[in-house]
Amino acid sequence: MSRLEAKKPSICRREPLTGERAGASLAALRGLVTSCYGPAGRLKQLHNGRGGPVATTSHSAALLAGLPVSHPVLKVLTAAVRNHVACFSDGGLFTAILCCNLVENVQRLGLTPTTVIKLNKHLLSLCTRYLKSEVCACRIPVDFGSTEILLSLVRSILTSKPACMLIAKEIDHISTLILRAFLLTIPEDAQEHIILGKSIIVPLKGQRVIDSAVLPGILIEVSEVQLMKILPIRKSDSFKVAVFCVSLSGDLSDTGEGTLLVSYGVSLENAALDQLFNLGRQLLE
């Protein structure tokens, strides 16, 4: 494969981050994400200008992934927002708007970098302390014995996504399914601090929204090649799957502060290999 244009060497610029170009780039990004935020947010169409598909979205992950940025400030900012979305799966547009406003306000005030770092750390501690307090207005008391508040929260999220093009009946159905899937992620012996399970949404082409359903279990991805090898042999719609919660590579689990005693002449590698062979024979049987 040959290049259409010769590869150009990297350029190191000494342009100040407080210049007009940086301010214009930040203002353009802030205007873009602000116009997508909230129930009245508008959709955006992304196209690379040379051909290919056109993406219509207001979702922050798809918006930032398909948005070409060249300015260093925007590259750092968009990377931080995308990392936030990857960790928390929510609040991407709000995070982008907040970051743009923080940077723009700092540039307007003309503070030194050291002062800005201390000020942002102090503001972060104030926000974190407020969000963890009992008087925080963002916290909503929820009674799991009644689904009215939970359903209203889910509906408010779905109705803020105009690209879904859902009617009222479909919104009610999907809201009920999402709430049911969330409740299934809560362990039965839930304590004060719990670890929720994970729900995966699998889109299917050609299926009606009203036919969507919640299927509890474990989703295991199988390629079409592997599936074609299995189907002619099994002649069945059901498959037996063995799921392991420990490593099968032969390494030992963490012993913590304890001591592992091994008899003289015993090979740990051979012992682990024998156990794996024994396990394989049991699976075949």
- Give the best-scoring range by mean pLDDT among 60-74, 120-134, 239-253: 120-134
Spatial CB neighbours of 47, under 8 Å, sequence gap ≥ 6: 54, 55
C-alpha to C-alpha distance for 229 and 88, rounded to whole angstroms: 38
Lowest mean pLDDT, pick from 111-125, 190-204, 226-240, 263-277: 226-240
- Residue 244 domain-assigned (yes or no): no
C-alpha to C-alpha distance for 37 and 263, rounded to whole angstroms: 65
Same domain, 144 and 79: no
Task: Report the number of distinct structural domains present in the chain.
Answer: 2
Residue 246: phi and psi, rounded to 5, are -130, 165
The 3-state DSSP composition of the chain as helix, strand, coil percent (nearest 5) reads 50, 0, 50
**Quick one: tokens of 31?**
């205007």
Mean pLDDT, range 67-72, rounded to an integer: 81
What CATH number corresponds to the domain at position 73? 1.10.560.10
Count of positions (residues) in the chain: 285
Same domain, 77 and 149: no
C-alpha to C-alpha distance for 61 and 59, rounded to whole angstroms: 6
Same domain, 32 and 82: yes
- Residue 83 domain-assigned (yes or no): yes
- Residue 24 domain-assigned (yes or no): yes
Same domain, 86 and 165: no
Same domain, 144 and 105: no
Lowest mean pLDDT, pick from 113-127, 209-223, 228-242: 228-242
- Would the pLDDT of 210 be above 90? yes
DSSP letter for each residue of 203-260: --TT--GGG-----S------HHHHHHHHHHH-SS-------SS--SSPPPP-TT---
Residue 1's pLDDT band, with cuts at 50, 70 and 90, is very low
pLDDT tens digits, one per residue of 106-140: 888 878 888 989 999 999 999 999 988 988 888 87
- Residue 263 domain-assigned (yes or no): no
Same domain, 33 and 107: yes
- Give the best-scoring range by mean pLDDT among 28-37, 53-62, 241-250: 28-37
The confidence score (pLDDT) of residue 144 equals 75
Is the distance from CB of 93 to CB of 37 less than 8 angstroms? yes
Dihedral angle, C-alpha 59, 61, 56, 168, nearest 10 °: -30
Same domain, 61 and 106: yes
pLDDT tens digits, one per residue of 157-188: 888 777 788 899 999 999 999 999 988 888 77
- Residue 135 domain-assigned (yes or no): no
- Residue 252 domain-assigned (yes or no): no
Same domain, 223 and 182: yes
- Residue 219 domain-assigned (yes or no): yes
Same domain, 72 and 155: no
The confidence score (pLDDT) of residue 13 equals 65
Q: State the angle between helix axes of 92-109 and 72-88 in degrees (0 to 180), rounded to the nearest 10.
A: 140
Same domain, 146 and 213: yes
The confidence score (pLDDT) of residue 212 equals 93
Q: What is the pTM of this model?
A: 0.63
Mean pLDDT, range 78-106, rounded to an integer: 89
Lowest mean pLDDT, pick from 8-17, 22-31, 61-70, 134-143: 8-17
Residue 165: phi and psi, rounded to 5, are 55, 50
Q: What domain range is 182 assigned to?
A: 140-188+208-231
Q: What residue type is 272 in one-letter code?
A: A
Mean of the per-residue pLDDT values for the chain? 81
- Residue 67 domain-assigned (yes or no): yes
- Would the pLDDT of 205 be above 80? yes
